[in-house]
């Protein structure tokens, strides 16, 4: 509550000079607040542009050294790995997710061999990059099966941990998967592997460019509304987070980001747990388009990221991470 009144109280006094504005700034953004997503592609010596995401590329394993080295120099603490699985390796069961030589597993081994623990590795746990139908789980009668999907996710999580993944990140939105993954990891002596649960993942219209990047957009049949959240709901997000914390989540995610700042704030205020915001592909591409067409300037990038911090986000998954670290 503000006490005092004008003219003895003038809030503009502290805004007059740069040093004063910096002195009383309530939130700060640094490279340590960022997680950089990396798309993977098969082959050799390739850096392939993602057309719907200007400035973003898919990398072959042998090209990871350059981008990972840059990430470490910029003091970004963690990367998130996402594969473009060739269609010939996709099937309705997502079996490629359990192949120890799939793109994600090979990338984990490469990064750990060459960079040890200089950067954390976050791995998506879901079947959509590997299924011929583009859904996050196993399907029967056009419905994603919960428990049978979780059985596959347990194997996927353990495989990623065995390869060296630091943070298992289930994004599938199946009920009960966090608790079962935690127990499965602990049973196999992976007590220190963290779980970042995509606890609050909405059935959003902002995911299109990402689905282009991982090759699931054209294959996706129907929508994901029977397992991802209704974007009309707020209270449901708190129930999802509460369940995942009880089941053993170390961190929780809210996805998408900017349209859901109210959810980020609510989750942080209620649970005091690390909350990761995902500034998703659609948000990225919209901002890039606005800058390209001179509708907004590049400072909008920093502004958008600071919004997450102001709302209570602990860290942000952002495709802008490498672009803006020199400006922080």
Report helix, strand or coil for 256: coil
Burial class (CB in 10 A: 0-12, 13-18, 19+), 30: exposed
Residue bearing tokens 């592909």: 281
Exactly one of 63, 106, 224, 255 is catalytic; name it: 255
- SS3 sequence, 262-326? HHHHHHHHHHCCCEEEEECHHHHHHHHHHHHCCCCCCHHHHHHHHHHHHHCCCEEEECCHHHHHH
Confirm whether 201 is a catalytic residue.
yes
Q: Hey, CA dihedral for 70, 74, 77, 79, is it positive or negative?
A: negative
Report the candidate in 209, 218, 257 with the shortest Cα–Cα distance to residue 53: 209
Instruction: Give me the residues paired with residue 144 across strands.
Output: 139
Report the candidate in 42, 44, 163 with the shortest Cα–Cα distance to residue 111: 163
Distance CA 218, CA 211 (A): 8
Instruction: Count CA atoms closer than 13 A to 122's CA, side-chain side.
Output: 26
228 neighbors 280 (Cβ within 8 angstroms): no
Q: Could you say which DSSP state residue 118 is in?
A: S
How far is CA 8 from each of CA 11, 21, 24, rounded to the nearest angstrom? 10, 20, 19
Beta strands in 64-209 (DSSP E): 78-83, 120-125, 139-140, 143-144, 167-170, 194-201
List Cβ neighbours of 179 (8 Å cut-off, separation of 6 or more).
246, 247, 248
Helix 299-311 crosses helix 281-292 at what angle (to 10 degrees)?
A: 150
Confirm whether 88 is a catalytic residue.
no
Exactly one of 63, 90, 180, 201 is catalytic; name it: 201
Known catalytic residues are: 201, 255
């Amino acid at each position: 509550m503000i006490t005092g009144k004008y003219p003895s109280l003038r809030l503009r006094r502290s805004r007059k000079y740069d040093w004063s504005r910096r002195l009383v700034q309530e939130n700060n953004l640094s490279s340590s607040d960022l997680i950089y997503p990396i798309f993977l592609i098969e082959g050799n010596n390739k850096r392939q542009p993602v057309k719907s995401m200007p400035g973003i590329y898919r990398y072959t394993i042998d090209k990871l050294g350059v981008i990972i080295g840059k990430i470490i120099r910029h003091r970004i603490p963690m990367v998130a790995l996402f594969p473009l699985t060739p269609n010939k390796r996709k099937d309705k069961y997502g079996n490629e997710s359990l192949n120890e030589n799939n793109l994600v597993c090979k990338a984990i081994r490469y990064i750990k061999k060459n960079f040890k623990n200089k950067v954390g590795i976050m791995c998506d746990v879901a079947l959509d990059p590997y299924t011929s139908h583009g859904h996050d789980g196993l399907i029967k009668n056009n419905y994603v099966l919960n428990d049978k999907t979780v059985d596959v996710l347990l194997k996927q999580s353990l495989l990623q941990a065995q390869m060296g993944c630091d943070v298992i990140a289930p994004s599938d939105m199946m009920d009960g998967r966090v608790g079962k993954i935690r127990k499965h990891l602990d049973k196999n002596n992976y007590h220190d592997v963290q779980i970042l649960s995509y606890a609050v993942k909405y059935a959003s219209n902002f995911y299109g460019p990402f689905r282009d990047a991982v090759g699931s957009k054209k294959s996706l049949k129907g929508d994901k509304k029977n397992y991802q959240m209704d974007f009309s709901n707020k209270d449901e997000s708190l129930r999802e987070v509460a369940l995942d914390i009880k089941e053993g989540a170390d961190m929780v995610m809210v996805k998408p980001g900017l349209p859901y700042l109210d959810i980020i704030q609510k989750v942080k205020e209620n649970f005091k747990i690390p909350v990761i915001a995902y500034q998703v592909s659609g948000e990225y591409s919209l901002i890039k388009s606005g800058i390209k067409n001179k509708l907004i300037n590049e400072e909008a990038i920093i502004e958008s990221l600071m919004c997450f911090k102001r709302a209570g986000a602990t860290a942000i998954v952002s495709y802008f991470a490498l672009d803006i670290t020199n400006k922080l």
